[in-house]
Amino acid sequence: MNKIEKVKKERKEIIADSSKKKPNNTHIDEEVAKQKSIYHTKIIDMKEETNNVKTFTLSADPDSDTPYLAPFKAGQYITIHVTINGEDTTRAYSLSSSPSEANKNKYKITIKRVKDGLVSNYMLDQVKVGDKLDISKPAGEFGYQPIIDEDNVIAIAGGSGITPFMSLAKAIMEGIYDCHLTVFYSVRTYDDVIFKREIEEINKKSKNVKFIITLTREEKEGYLHGHLTKEMIEPYIKEFNTILMCGPKELYRSMNDILNEFNIPRKSVRYENFFVEYEPQEKITYHVKVVMKNKIEEITCKNDETLLVAMEKAGIKAPSLCRVGECGYCRSVLLEGKVKMIGATLKKAEIENDYIHPCVSFPDSDIVLRLDI
């Protein structure tokens, strides 16, 4: 027999000697490895934090095909899927619970009422304990990074921007992270303070975590007053610091000026994006043709709303996750037309190949969009 035949025969024999059953050689944990795009949960508790803020405790729905929840890092968000008046939409909320709660298949999100906010009003007014809620897996890059971050962490929170830091505070209290955290929490009045009791308790108990609240529109004993200033923060600045910010854009602007005075390097400052603002000079309604895999739909989109919102209003099940242009989950190809894109994180090749992120794209002409769904 020639050598080629011999080599083939040897292989054949080895294969013929092995089990005929389907292979069963997966040894990595399925719950970590196979993260789903949708997890089915139930709301098991609702807690009123202020007049306009509620914390929802979500638990994995044991009767669904996702009887468990994925792990997360403090600072990450989930995106909730809701149907309001027949319209499917999503919103991203930072997780406010400790990452260890995920091990018990529980998450907490804290939602503040937004004026005319479709989803926040729905969640605060309509939803009850026992209701089902579909959510995404945890996502986002914001948070403490133990390898590169400094031991002294200064968090700057504005309004509902406190939520990721509550998760981080709990993670530090539980020993998940070993660092010192000072949270400067800027809020209008005493009544607007979210997590009052928890903050008090943490301040009493913890050596590593401290919350400092400043009330911008009210003077009250035991609280700072006014917008954050260099003087307020200075006592907490050490030789090396990591700054994490979550709040409205104005807060970032004013903070950047302050931080410049402390000479904090770029790599030590990070912030979470969760607002997309765009005000066109003149309001126009454009035509949008959405080319999907097996159908084409023609819809309209006003130039002060995003293409994603217009598609959702028209009943197109467009995918979305972060809704601030970062994650790329909604990416689509702009076949024709122009858009105004606010703060999208695009890869170089995405730009060259006409990809846009509809969650932050406002039409600037009639549009033809390719969206593979």
**Quick check: helix, strand or coil at residue 138?**
coil
335 Cβ partners below 8 Å, 6+ apart?
A: 291, 354, 368, 369, 370
- Residue nearer to other proteins on the CB measure, 117 or 328: 328
What is the amino acid identity at position 69? L
**Binding of other proteins by 222 (CB under 8 A):** no
* Contact positions with other proteins (CB under 8 A) in 308-327: 319
**Binding of other proteins by 1 (CB under 8 A):** no
Are 338 and 365 a contacting pair, CB within 8 Å? yes
**Binding of other proteins by 295 (CB under 8 A):** no
CA 18 to each of CA 13, 24, 27, 158: distance values in angstroms, whole numbers, following the listed order? 9, 13, 19, 62
- CA–CA separation, 274 vs 258, rounded Å? 22
DSSP 23: P
Number of Cα atoms under 13 Å in the Cβ half of residue 59: 10
Q: How many residues lie near other proteins (CB under 8 A)?
A: 60
**Binding of other proteins by 348 (CB under 8 A):** yes
Q: Which of 169, 188, 194 is nearest to 179 (CA)?
A: 169
Residue from 145, 189, 203, 214 touching other proteins (CB under 8 A): that is 145
CA 269 to each of CA 140, 246, 345: distance values in angstroms, whole numbers, following the listed order? 16, 11, 18
Least distance in angstroms from the C-beta of 106 to other proteins? 13
- Residue nearer to other proteins on the CB measure, 4 or 296: 4
* Contact positions with other proteins (CB under 8 A) in 41-80: 70-71, 73
CA-CA-CA-CA torsion sign (20, 22, 26, 27): negative
| Helix/strand number for the chain, H first, E second | 10, 19
**Binding of other proteins by 25 (CB under 8 A):** yes
**Binding of other proteins by 8 (CB under 8 A):** yes
Are 147 and 236 a contacting pair, CB within 8 Å? no
**Binding of other proteins by 2 (CB under 8 A):** yes
- Residue nearer to other proteins on the CB measure, 26 or 85: 26
Which of 24-32, 77-85, 195-203, 220-228 is the region at the interface with other proteins (rule: CB under 8 A)? Answer: 24-32
Least distance in angstroms from the C-beta of 265 to other proteins? 7
Task: Give the contact letters, 100-139, x = binds to other proteins (CB under 8 A), - = no.
Answer: --xx------------------------------------
Task: Give the contact letters, 226-265, x = binds to other proteins (CB under 8 A), - = no.
Answer: ---------------------------------------x
Please state the φ and ψ torsions of residue 318, each to the nearest 5 degrees.
Answer: -70, 135
- CA–CA separation, 224 vs 207, rounded Å? 21
Residue from 189, 302, 345, 366 touching other proteins (CB under 8 A): that is 345
Residue from 10, 191, 201, 261 touching other proteins (CB under 8 A): that is 10
CA 252 to each of CA 150, 188, 201, 257: distance values in angstroms, whole numbers, following the listed order? 20, 17, 28, 9
Q: Which residues bind other proteins (CB under 8 A)?
A: 2-4, 6-8, 10-12, 14-23, 25-29, 31-35, 70-71, 73, 99, 102-103, 141, 145-148, 176, 265-267, 293-294, 319, 328-329, 331, 345-350, 352-353, 372-373
